[in-house]
Structure formats: structure tokens, C-alpha cells
Amino acid sequence: MDDSRQKKNRFTGLIIVIIILGFLAIFTEKRFLLTPRFTVTKEKLENGRQIYLENCASCHAEGRGAAPRVGDTGYWQERLEKGVDTLIRHSVQGYEGDLGYMPPKGGNPHLTYDEIEAAVAYILSQSTE
């Protein structure tokens, strides 16, 4: 085997090791499974908790205005059947259901999609089995 070929092999080996380490980093990061297709990182959940406390808890903590209470697993488990994407979309766009009216972004237009997603993730993490 000539010299340049050996170098190339070593280089390929290094790339493979980097890829494997990358995968390990992704899969060992602690993620919270909310549904088989929806997992979030611990940071996102922490962030979601803050956003929830500031923007959603006024209704969802106590069930004001017929809002489903966080922690009411029966209610949220059933809602989850719509799919997490739908729940996030309803939270962003607003939603009128049998119970009452959920204002778009909980009434705070400054929230981003990502922040709403984090808040919904937090709500679900507290309200599903």
C-alpha cells in the first residue's frame, strides 16, 4: 500500500469515528418522550415551564374560563389523540372548542412558534401518564 493510500484510509477512519461520536451525542442526550414521535430536551421543557407560567397558567392552572387544567391527565390524554402538531397549531392560531375559547398564543402575540411548542410540551409533560 503506498503512502497516500494509507493517509486516505486513516482519514476515512477518522471521519467514521466522528460520525459515530455524533450519533452517540444525539442519542445519549436526555430527551423526554411525550409521544413516540414527540420528544423534547430538558432545556426546552424548562423554557416551556417559564413560558407557561407567564402566559398560560392564568387560565390553565386553575381551569379559568373552562380551560383544561394542567395535571388533568384524563383530559389531556384524550386531547393528545389529535396529535401534538394539532395541539401546537391550535395554541398558535387560537381554538374554539366545546369548553370555551383559547386565544391565539394565549393572548401574547410576541411568542414564537418555538416558544408555544415548548409551553405545550411542558403542559403535556405535567398532564400525561
Q: How far is the CB of 11 from ligand HEC (least distance, A)?
A: 48
Q: How far is the CB of 38 from ligand HEC (least distance, A)?
A: 13
What is the helix (H) or strand (E) element at residue 108, kind and residue range?
none
Q: Please, are residues 51 and 118 in contact by the beta-carbon 8 Å criterion?
A: yes
Q: How far is the CB of 39 from ligand HEC (least distance, A)?
A: 17
Chain residues that interact with ligand HEC, rule: CB under 6 A: 55-56, 58-60, 65-68, 79, 82, 86-87, 90-91, 95, 97-103, 105-107, 116, 119-120, 123
Residue nearer to ligand HEC on the CB measure, 39 or 72: 72
Which grid cell is 68? 383544561
Burial 44-73 (b: 16+ CB within 10 A, else e): bbebbbebbeebbbebbeeeeeebbebeee
Q: How far is the CB of 30 from ligand HEC (least distance, A)?
A: 23
- Give me the helices (H) in the chain, please: 3-28, 42-55, 57-60, 73-79, 84-93, 113-127
Residue nearer to ligand HEC on the CB measure, 31 or 72: 72
Closest CA to 60 of 129, 126, 118: 126
Residue nearer to ligand HEC on the CB measure, 22 or 100: 100
Residue nearer to ligand HEC on the CB measure, 45 or 87: 87
